[in-house]
Amino acid sequence: MAGSLGRGAMLAHWLGCALICAFVLAAEGCASLPKEVPRQQSEALADPATTALGRLVAQSSPDPALSGFHVIASGEEAYGTLISLADHATRTLDLQYYLIEADESSREILLHVRAAAERGVRVRVLVDDLHSDDGKDRAFLRFAGHRNIEVRMFNPFPAGRFSKLTRVLSSATDVRRLNRRMHNKAFIADNALAMTGGRNIGDAYFLRAPEQNFVDLDVIAAGPAVRRLSAAFDRYWNNPLAVPVETLANPAQATDSAAATGASSSRPGPALVSTEAESKRIDAQGMTPPGKIDARASFLGRQFAAGGKLALEWASASVMVDAPSKAAPDQAPAAGETMSKELGRTLSGARQEVILISPYFIPGDRGVTWMADLVKRGVKVRVLTNSLAATDAPIVHVGYRRYRRDLLRAGVELHELKSRPGRPQKIIGDYTSSQATLHVKAAVADRTNLFVGSMNFDPRSASQNTETGLIIHSAKLAQQVAQLFAGVIDDNSYLLRLSEQGTVQWVDGRGDQAAVFDTEPDTSWQKRLWIDVLAPFTPEQLL
């Protein structure tokens, strides 16, 4: 699955590097970043008001100082939003993602992006390089062959790009740099409208995967917040760590038509883009191909079709984006250039309630102390994360479970998502036929301030990955996410508690009908044993 290629594979990758460094002394065979890379600097559209989207946003806004927002919890809704943004852009499209999968959803979205390029839209695609093996170079190189499309890989593996093993071998002496990844997510149209939050691009993020899907959260943004997102995109795009795919990939690979275009391929692989003819057909029709999710049925699609003003929630907001230098171990970000501290200040100001939602939740001793202090001040602290059965990265569970007892002793209300829903959640979308995995990164303070972004509440997000997030000062939107939290914990999560002997228990249900488990629910003894074996050897800072 897409998510399991993140935390679990990353840790295995770096442990493999450590072993190689210990036993292979041929360091001269390891590659480093190219010193001189030809690249053109470019910036976001300076005046979005000259575009149809910019004019629509301007006429919809009650105050030019406010930004407009709409919460997207449904995977189908998120998919339709990206299609709508691509179809309505007239000048620029900027995409920044940790992961773009090689599957049907990615292919369809990039097909619409390519159709926009055919209309003359300038397209910039910035992708973290961790998952560009298995032939994706060919697809991205082909995609970048369009005169209006550029693709850059962030913090790349400079050699051995044709397999995971060769990438590990070639990067064995550069682990400190390559352990830092660009985890940001943003899809920006004409510097006027954007979608940002927790989702990558791939089937599982849009509830279209047969076996495992991600419960996630994004927001549509309009107005000043988008311009700040674009300014942050420019800083990453023009950073030395953003390397054009042409510099990294073999140009001969772009001629591999079947792999590069993904034309009529039924097997898994780098089917990222479609043929030029199909792209032009989509551009001419301005709609999703037959048999696919109709983007016009999404919130944004309906808004565009109805005309008039956009029905967004207008509020003040803080746009928080880590400095790209966070990804360079020899360039520590300056004070104020990492978002975790700003978010911490906002949540620390809560007086009644803090809700934290994070798929990878490793608070550390400082986090436990912080939450305990909130509880002592009378603040109700409520947390939702993945159960062992639901997580896509079981090895990360090792770090989280170290703190469960301390959190419960401190009075934190702790919930873990079930792997199978007890009751469908209409607002999220239909994932009832597959395993559910939490992927939402959100927080609510006093039901008046809402955080949505790419940042998990764990050491990796705080110190290793670069992240994007919004703090929106809107009671309406904060209440929406609080209601989403309440709906999930009612029927689709376990409530944790301590037994009289001080051991962790999982409670499913309420009152006399509640079932109580003394071991991780819905897991095998082999899986639990494996976690026990890994625990002493798993470095928390890599999770």
Local structure of 441: helix, strand or coil = coil
DSSP state of 493: E
Among this protein's residues, is 426 annotated catalytic? no
DSSP string across 193-233: EEEEES--BSGGGGT--SSEEEE--EEEEETHHHHHHHHHH
Question: One of 183, 326, 397, 418 is an active-site residue; which one?
Answer: 183
**In b/e form, how buried is each residue of 16-27, taking b as 16+ CB within 10 angstroms?**
bbeebeeeeeee
Among this protein's residues, is 185 annotated catalytic? yes
Question: One of 128, 137, 441, 458 is an active-site residue; which one?
Answer: 441
Q: What is the Cα 102 distance to its own chain's centre?
A: 16
Among this protein's residues, is 441 annotated catalytic? yes
C-alpha 269/C-alpha 281 separation (Å) is: 24
Question: One of 174, 294, 446, 508 is an active-site residue; which one?
Answer: 446
DSSP state of 29: G
Among this protein's residues, is 309 annotated catalytic? no
Question: One of 103, 190, 216, 458 is an active-site residue; which one?
Answer: 190
Phi, psi of 318 (to 5 degrees): -110, 130
Torsion of CA 95, 101, 102, 106, to 10 degrees: -50
Among this protein's residues, is 13 annotated catalytic? no
**In b/e form, how buried is each residue of 424-460, taking b as 16+ CB within 10 angstroms?**
ebeebbebeebbbbbbbbbbbbbbbbbbbbbbbbbbb
Q: Which of 380, 499, 377, 376 is nearest to 446 (CA)?
A: 380
C-alpha 460/C-alpha 10 separation (Å) is: 11
The two counts, helices (H) then strands (E), for the chain are 19, 21
Local structure of 421: helix, strand or coil = coil
The residues near 493 (Cβ < 8 Å, ≥ 6 apart) are 384, 387, 415, 416, 417, 418
Question: One of 112, 185, 326, 397 is an active-site residue; which one?
Answer: 185
Per-residue CA distances from 362 to 59, 180, 398, 451, 460 (Å): 44, 18, 9, 18, 9
Question: One of 112, 326, 415, 439 is an active-site residue; which one?
Answer: 439
C-alpha 142/C-alpha 451 separation (Å) is: 37
Residue whose structure tokens are 């029709």: 285
Among this protein's residues, is 183 annotated catalytic? yes
Residue whose structure tokens are 């036929």: 433
Q: Which residues are catalytic?
A: 183, 185, 190, 439, 441, 446
